[in-house]
Amino acid sequence: MNEEFPMRINKYLAKNGVASRREVDDLISKKKITINGKVAELGQKVEVDDTVEVIGKIKVKSYLAYYKGRGVITHSPGENEIDIAGRLKKDYGITDMSPVGRLDKDSEGLIILSNDGRITGPLLDPEANHEKEYDVLVDKKVSGMFMRAMENGVDIEGYRTKAAKATRSPKNDKRFTIILTEGKKHQIRRMCAALGYQIETLKRVRVTNIELDKLKPNQFRKIQGLELTAFLQAIGVSM
């Protein structure tokens, strides 16, 4: 017998791509899941040869690549501030998609939006080493010492950042790209400040295999096909 079984019903259906664990628990509460013909209970476990069925329709999972502009809040806006959800509702009538992760108010670029709660934990897991790439413009010429420090790790208030990959722009001596596999709060800004530099613009251009590409602020595109397959495989979530 598979060593994973018996398995909690919410984990079983999440692993099989039906819904997130929280969504499964909600379906169970609404008596929409059966195990071997009997209504499932919260916390119930299934064996490898059990028959699990979902009654009714499951919402279609959607994934978007969205360009968050500068000045837009990712989550929980204050008075007179606008967040991504508010902008999506106002401009596109979209109400069921949520940002996965954050991008600070003064930064811009790629945010992944989805109604699939399964991807949040795996994508944001600090131990998963998912790549995030940024294009950065600072206030003065970047030196070789600066670039080496950004790559090898910078001490920011007692924490040393993980090794990264940084590349100077061939066209602008104040611009560089950096690929991180972690996401401490305001990390790149704090790294630059620790080395005596101030950021003028900061744009996220890639998350794992999803690229910002030609999107402009407040534009989005669907993540689908082979791009979606590769993305979900990268973060360990089934289709």
> Where in the sequence numbering do the catalytic residues fall?
104
| Residue 76 phi, psi dihedral angles, 5° rounding | 50, 70
- Contact between 105 and 202 under an 8 Å Cβ cutoff? The reply is no
* Rounded Cα gap, residues 209 and 199, in angstroms: 25
Enumerate the H helices of 103-224 as residue ranges. Answer: 120-124, 144-152, 187-194
* Rounded Cα gap, residues 202 and 188, in angstroms: 9
Within 8 A by CB and 6+ apart from 127, the residues are none
| Residue 128 phi, psi dihedral angles, 5° rounding | -85, -15
* Rounded Cα gap, residues 120 and 237, in angstroms: 10
* Rounded Cα gap, residues 169 and 71, in angstroms: 25
* Rounded Cα gap, residues 52 and 37, in angstroms: 8
Closest CA to 101 of 91, 114, 89, 90: 114
What is the helix (H) or strand (E) element at residue 230, kind and residue range?
helix 225-235
